[in-house]
Amino acid sequence: MDADHPETGYRRKKQPELVQRALLDHAAKLAVEHGLAAVTVQAVAEAAGVTKGGLLHHFPSKQALIDAVFADLLDALDRDLDARIAADPEPFGAFTRAYVASVFDMAPEADGAIWAALSISMLTDPQPRRLWSEWIQARQDRHRDTDGTLALAAVRLAADGAWLADLTGVAIAERAETRDLLISQTRTAAP
């Protein structure tokens, strides 16, 4: 007989994609609310309503889970950038404009909170640092024809500085004006 409903023999259909999504979401939420140290196999399993064995079926270690959360964020960033690029009528600098807009549109206390939690790990853990490095290099390579100039690279680095300021709680005076200035630089940096 089935443990779910022994009297009927009914078995709940396994939905591994939903379980995996719940594990990623709960791990991210724990990282935001309590810091990366709070992301333990036990805590995530309890929050998602699965056993530790169930979690380990999807992610064989805490590091694999954290890496998956980080990769999930990179996928979300990819989708956001792709949508912004598709909506931009001007090909030259479109990736850089999308990148700047994404950085400045990310609210540090909301969307940016999970980035903050995982970004701290990039400073000390080589695996998230490697994932980020590979991701950003692949994006730069993909957009080399439209965004391969030194001036546009400098604009993206300035956006990274704004992201770091958000991460460390340093207020950016004239935030909207800084965003607009960086966006305008993508249009004046034509080769």
Domain spans of the chain, in order of start? 1-60, 66-188
On the CB side of 76, CA atoms within 13 Å amount to 14
pLDDT at 5: 44
Give the pTM: 0.79
Residue 8 has pLDDT above 60, yes or no: no
Q: What CATH class has 1-60?
A: mainly alpha
For residue 10, name the pLDDT band (cuts at 50, 70, 90). Answer: very low
Of 148, 146, 145, 158, which Cα lies nearest the Cα of 185? 158
Lowest mean pLDDT among 40-44, 70-74, 80-84: 70-74
**106-140 burial string, b = 16+ CB within 10 Å, else e?**
bebeeebbbbbbbbbbbeebeebeebbeebeeebb
Measured between its terminal Cα atoms, the distance across the chain in Å is 71
Distance between CA 126 and CA 32 in Å, rounded?
A: 20
Give the model confidence (pLDDT) of 75-104 as tens digits: 888 999 999 999 999 999 999 999 999 999
Does the CA dihedral 119-123-127-129 come out positive or negative?
positive
Give the model confidence (pLDDT) of 106-133 as tens digits: 865 555 566 666 676 777 778 888 888 9
Average pLDDT over residues 2-8: 46
